[in-house]
């Protein structure tokens, strides 16, 4: 397994492999890997001849007062997991190479980036789409794997790839959860014991919404009212957003149907966590 920290070296490696007729699967991350990331690597390993993992804590997707300076990192553990998963190259570029002096080019996706996390974190998705586009240009993968935990991010990247005619297949994989239902996240490491317990309100809200819909309650306002009451009963939890949206447009809905996704973001102490799930059994979709 190679560890490359040079953009030029990564480009040269990818170009040589593609000229040899090999294709590349790619998993972009910010590191501090957990089993959710490993599930992406396992699927990607089977999808192409070669597998590249990137580890880059992207400064442009963090806003003022967010956790860029304290984001958890453990490169030794990450490279150990990467090697076990069969990764061929771990790409760990420094910020100075990704955003050299004078850098002033950005990729923006309009519409679906202004709601949900985009409303709470102005500029976040501009940073996400820019860095993902740059990584695609550097690594030139045939296919890239993302987790469904950040549902909006996946929708934004799919839209960018379609709109810009990028030759990359985007695959989203299911959320990987702890035994008690908490969605795996690098930021879970921030949680104190009581905060960790109260974080279960996210998966509990998902189960509650799905049960309500199963019992025939399809009014979004009523479902969200009940979920809000349940979440707010947890004293350490503050709701950022709680929405039921159409899976494609991310527009809020009045009635639940097979396209309805429950999207949640909360602060538990100073830690911001997100989660999501379809409220009903989803309709089959053709990937963009």
**What are the residue numbers of the active site?**
37
Report how far apart the first and last C-alpha atoms of the chain are (Å, whole number): 32
* Residue appearing with tokens 């879970």: 188
* Residue appearing with tokens 């053709």: 286
How far apart (Å, rounded) are the C-alpha atoms in residues 272 and 66?
9
Alpha helices for 215-274 (secondary structure H): 220-232
Torsion sign across C-alpha atoms 103, 54, 143, 286: negative
Tell how strand 50-55 and strand 24-29 pair up.
parallel
How far apart (Å, rounded) are the C-alpha atoms in residues 9 and 238?
45
SS3 of 192, please? coil
For residue 193, the number of C-alpha atoms closer than 13 Å in the C-beta half-sphere is 0
């Amino acid at each position: 397994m190679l560890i490359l920290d040079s953009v030029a070296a990564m480009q040269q490696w990818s170009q040589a492999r593609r000229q040899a007729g090999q294709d590349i699967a790619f998993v972009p991350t910010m590191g501090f890997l957990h089993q959710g990331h490993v599930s992406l690597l396992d699927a990607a390993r089977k999808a192409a001849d070669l597998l590249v993992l990137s580890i880059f804590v992207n400064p442009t997707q963090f806003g003022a007062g967010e956790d860029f300076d304290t984001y958890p990192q453990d490169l030794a553990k990450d490279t150990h997991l990467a090697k076990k998963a069969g990764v061929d190259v771990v790409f760990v570029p420094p910020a100075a190479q990704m955003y050299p002096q004078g850098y002033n080019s950005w990729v923006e996706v309009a519409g679906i980036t202004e709601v949900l996390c985009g409303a709470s974190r102005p500029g976040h998705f501009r940073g996400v789409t820019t860095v993902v586009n740059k990584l695609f240009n550097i690594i030139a993968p045939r296919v890239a794997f993302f987790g469904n935990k950040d549902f909006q991010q996946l929708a934004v990247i799919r839209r960018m790839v379609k709109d810009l005619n990028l030759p990359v297949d985007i695959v989203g994989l299911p959320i990987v959860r702890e035994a008690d239902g908490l969605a795996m996240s690098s930021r879970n490491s921030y949680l104190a014991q009581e905060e960790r317990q109260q974080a279960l309100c996210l998966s509990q809200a998902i189960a509650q919404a799905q049960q309500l819909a199963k019992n025939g309650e399809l009014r979004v306002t009523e479902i969200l009212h009940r979920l809000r009451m349940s979440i707010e009963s947890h004293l350490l939890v503050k709701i950022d957003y709680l929405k039921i949206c159409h899976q494609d447009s991310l527009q809020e809905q009045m009635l639940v149907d097979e396209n309805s996704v429950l999207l949640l973001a909360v602060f538990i102490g100073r830690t911001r966590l997100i989660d999501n799930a379809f409220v009903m059994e989803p309709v089959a979709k053709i990937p963009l």
